[in-house]
A and B are shown apart, each in its own frame.
Chain A
Amino acid sequence: MTDLYQSQRAMRQMRQQAMQRGVVAILDIGSSKTACLVLRFDGVGQLSEDNSIGPMAGQSGFRVIGAATTRSRGVQFGEVTAMQETERAIRTAVQAAQKMAEIRVDHVIACFSGANPRSYGLDATVDLEGQVVTENEVARVLSACEVPDYGAARRVLHAQPVNFALDHRSGLSDPRGQIGQSLSVDLHMLTVDADVIQNLVHCIRRCDLELAGIASSAYASGVSVLVEDEQELGAACIDLGGGATGISIFMKKHMIFADCIRMGGEHVTGDISMGLGIPASTAERIKTFYGGVHATGMDDRERIDIGGDTGDWEHDRRTVSRAELIGIMRPRVEEILEEVRARLDAAGFEHMPSQQIVLTGGGSQIPGLDGLASRILGQQVRLGRPLRVQGLPQAATGPGFASAVGLALFAAHPQDEWWDFDIPVDRHSARSFRRAVRWFRDNW
């Protein structure tokens, strides 16, 4: 675990450096688009004279000064498949955002959706040495968590203490300073494939940028899309992305589960392209203009030109009715939602006190999706858009930017992770004692 500590702490240190410099870039590397936001941190601004406006969920501390989007190439299912292409996409987005911000950015916080995330719930209990819970005790209970064997080729992406319990009192968010006998902790750990992270880090390094943080985009979109009471009472955020659909379940303002389905909007486009025999770009266009999931009688009469440039008059004048288009799209969307349902069931979502489901991501803009989703996922379904943050251009306020905005919030107010707590003192002392013994043995 020590190397994890080291790398994550190095990243955290980099983020603090970026905060001190005041400028950090947010990079959302998705399958269909790569978005880059440049944030400027200039302290928590006073929004009103009489404090009638609060800190607004933390987004008042920064301002978006540059935003750019470019089409992703070389990213499939939220994973880098062609390094050169991904690097170029990152370069394009970062350059445009820098140009808009008129400032050079050196630190990047990135998120990605794929890489087979897997959630683990860990817990541990220790008896307190003294009566009072100190930082050291918290670190000790965190290090006492029994880490499952998640595989050599995987890395821990998030490890957040979700809940502390002191004796028989549970639900403590910050037990420090309280008095009790035994302290226990619930920890949510998310692991992903190591090589995906390696590829991503390599791409970012090749763009002369320093990685100041990395997050799962399912987590980031949950942070930005779920409103405060949903995060508190329990809700699931479904991020319908281009190549992958992220699922994150929040409760008590902590993510307690995250997963990813390797299906998304690009598969819908692929179905249209294959079913109608048209290029993917045309399929994407008619999907966004005419797509839907509920066919009505009106849709039979609405003909859509699907065109072509073969020179064959008959072939180039093909039309398709909107009902046919919907007939192609709906099964795939249903499949995605059913897969989401299966994953939620596997996670035990039905045992949650509140079963709110929020759909976001670019795919959630399909007309009629909320009706279809409520049929499959349950009644409490709504479409979510990311929180408004200062300075964000209108073009970047859509649901497709949920994870970018969430990452910005995450950058401004990072949640405590395991590695933010110090390594317990006894481990330190044991090591230094051993070093002292060795020194004695070497010298006498």
Chain B
Amino acid sequence: MQPMMPSLRDPAPSRLRYRMQRWMLTPGIRLGLRLGVPLALILGAGGAWLADGARREALTTYVDAQWQAIQQRPEFMVNLVAIDGAAPPLADHIRGIIPVSLPVSSFDLDLEAIRQTVLGLNPVQSAQLRIRPGGVLQIEITERTPAILWRSRTGLEMLDETGARIYRVATRASHAELPLIVGDGADAKVAEALALIDAAAPLGARLRGLVRIGERRWDVVLDREQRILLPETEPVRALERVIALSEIKEMLERDVAVVDMRLSERPTLRMSAEALQDWWRIREINSSGQ
């Protein structure tokens, strides 16, 4: 079988080499060799190095130190708090309550928490916080605009048009330009109260304030102890009716104690005691004269 002179070189690959080459041409194996082996080596070396606890600790302390060093760089430090849009007393108050001790790294600032703290103040309607270049913590405040005064059992308070408290006020006189509402639950109906006060503009300076009765309806209180009792529903229309009547018949100028509009189909007037006495006397004179 064997030839006498063996040929010089067999070009055919051996079975092993053939299989090996086919194996190496398999896409999965190629990928595994190109990515998997280096990855495994790196992971293995890293794992072996980290297997020692002391090294791990050294690594964590080193990383922490580096991280701290980066955080404490002057580029990241906040040195100043600038508050815009707040009146000086409010600004001072905000400065007092925000939990920041300057200088502080901007990594340590939790802007959202500070914002929630600032929003927790009554006079603040909205707040925007950002860290300005140059290490300034910029707080932009929109204050609530005072719309009304509310006298409750606990004292006199200033409310905005949504009924949110702004300040506690010492005296009515210091805020004479603001209308006054009184009574429990009046702060929840500030929008209605403002509409009533708008409607009551023709009454001018005679208007003293509004009283919330039983947390359900309003009384308009005028000077000379006059009252207009308004219904629960559509109080503005009722008030406008009263004002219209008063302008034509000068009703409110007369000696009327209470205008009761609670039942719209049956408005009622109550006269003051002297007026009643006068009226009785006049009726007597008239009757005796006949």
Contacts of B19 in A (CB 8 A): 208
Cβ B21 vs Cβ A98 within 8 A: yes
Interface assignment of A103: CB less than 8 Å from any CB of chain B:
yes
Interface assignment of A70: CB less than 8 Å from any CB of chain B:
yes
Cβ B11 vs Cβ A99 within 8 A: no
Cβ A91 vs Cβ B13 within 8 A: yes
Cβ A95 vs Cβ B18 within 8 A: yes
Interface assignment of B153: CB less than 8 Å from any CB of chain A:
no
Cβ B21 vs Cβ A95 within 8 A: yes
Interface assignment of A207: CB less than 8 Å from any CB of chain B:
yes
Interface assignment of B287: CB less than 8 Å from any CB of chain A:
no
- Of all chain B residues, which has the CB nearest A102? B25
A65-80 CB contacts (< 8 Å) to partner B: 70
A194-216 CB contacts (< 8 Å) to partner B: 207-208
Interface assignment of B26: CB less than 8 Å from any CB of chain A:
yes
Given A207-B18, A208-B19; A92-B25 close (CB under 8 Å): no
A98–B13 Cα gap in the complex (Å)? Answer: 13
A208–B15 Cα gap in the complex (Å)? Answer: 10
Interface-central residue, A95, A98, A102, A208, by most chain B CB under 10 Å: A95
- Of all chain A residues, which has the CB nearest B10? A88
B213-245 CB contacts (< 8 Å) to partner A: none
Of the candidates B12, B21, B25, B27, the one whose C-beta lies within 8 Å of that of A88 is: B12
Count of A interface residues, CB-CB < 8 Å: 14
Cβ B12 vs Cβ A104 within 8 A: no
Of the candidates A91, A98, A99, A103, the one whose C-beta lies within 8 Å of that of B12 is: A91
A70–B25 Cα gap in the complex (Å)? Answer: 21
Cβ B26 vs Cβ A91 within 8 A: no
Kindly provide the distance from the CB of B258 to the nearest chain A CB, expressed in whole angstroms: 95
Contacts of A26 in B (CB 8 A): none
A85–B21 Cα gap in the complex (Å)? Answer: 20
A91–B13 Cα gap in the complex (Å)? Answer: 7
Cβ B25 vs Cβ A91 within 8 A: no
Q: Mark A228-263, 1 if CB is under 8 A from B, else 0.
A: 000000000000000000000000000000000000
A384–B153 Cα gap in the complex (Å)? Answer: 115
Contacts of A208 in B (CB 8 A): 18-19, 22
Q: Mark A82-101, 1 if CB is under 8 A from B, else 0.
A: 00000011011011001100
Cβ A99 vs Cβ B21 within 8 A: yes
DSSP class of B's interface residues: helix, strand, loop or mixed?
helix
A90-128 CB contacts (< 8 Å) to partner B: 91-92, 94-95, 98-99, 102-104
Q: Mark B1-22, 1 if CB is under 8 A from A, else 0.
A: 0000000001111010011011
Kindly provide the distance from the CB of B121 to the nearest chain A CB, expressed in whole angstroms: 70
Of the candidates A89, A98, A207, the one whose C-beta lies within 8 Å of that of B25 is: A98
A95–B25 Cα gap in the complex (Å)? Answer: 10
Kindly provide the distance from the CB of A297 to the nearest chain B CB, expressed in whole angstroms: 41
A94–B22 Cα gap in the complex (Å)? Answer: 10
Kindly provide the distance from the CB of B162 to the nearest chain A CB, expressed in whole angstroms: 68
Kindly provide the distance from the CB of A206 to the nearest chain B CB, expressed in whole angstroms: 8
Kindly provide the distance from the CB of B206 to the nearest chain A CB, expressed in whole angstroms: 90
Cβ B25 vs Cβ A104 within 8 A: yes
Contacts of B15 in A (CB 8 A): 91
Contacts of A103 in B (CB 8 A): 25, 27
- Of all chain A residues, which has the CB nearest B7? A73
A420-438 CB contacts (< 8 Å) to partner B: none
B60-103 CB contacts (< 8 Å) to partner A: none
Contacts of A102 in B (CB 8 A): 25
Interface-central residue, B12, B15, B19, B26, by most chain A CB under 10 Å: B12
Kindly provide the distance from the CB of B211 to the nearest chain A CB, expressed in whole angstroms: 87
Contacts of A89 in B (CB 8 A): 12
A216–B18 Cα gap in the complex (Å)? Answer: 27
A117–B201 Cα gap in the complex (Å)? Answer: 118
Contacts of B11 in A (CB 8 A): 70, 92
Contacts of A95 in B (CB 8 A): 13, 18, 21-22
Kindly provide the distance from the CB of A310 to the nearest chain B CB, expressed in whole angstroms: 14
- Of all chain B residues, which has the CB nearest A94? B18
Cβ A104 vs Cβ B10 within 8 A: no
A322–B27 Cα gap in the complex (Å)? Answer: 54
Cβ B26 vs Cβ A104 within 8 A: yes
A67–B50 Cα gap in the complex (Å)? Answer: 51
Q: Which 6 pairs of residues, A with B, have the shortest CB-CB distance?
A: A88-B12, A104-B25, A92-B12, A91-B18, A104-B26, A95-B13
A and B contact pairs by CB, cutoff 8 A, 13 listed: A70-B11, A91-B15, A92-B12, A92-B13, A95-B13, A95-B22, A98-B22, A99-B21, A99-B25, A103-B25, A103-B27, A104-B27, A207-B18
Name 16 extra pairs, CB < 8 A, besides A91-B15, A94-B18, A104-B26: A88-B10, A89-B12, A91-B18, A92-B12, A92-B13, A95-B18, A95-B22, A98-B21, A98-B22, A99-B21, A99-B25, A103-B25, A103-B27, A104-B25, A208-B19, A208-B22
Report A's interface with B, CB cutoff 8 A. Answer: 70, 88-89, 91-92, 94-95, 98-99, 102-104, 207-208
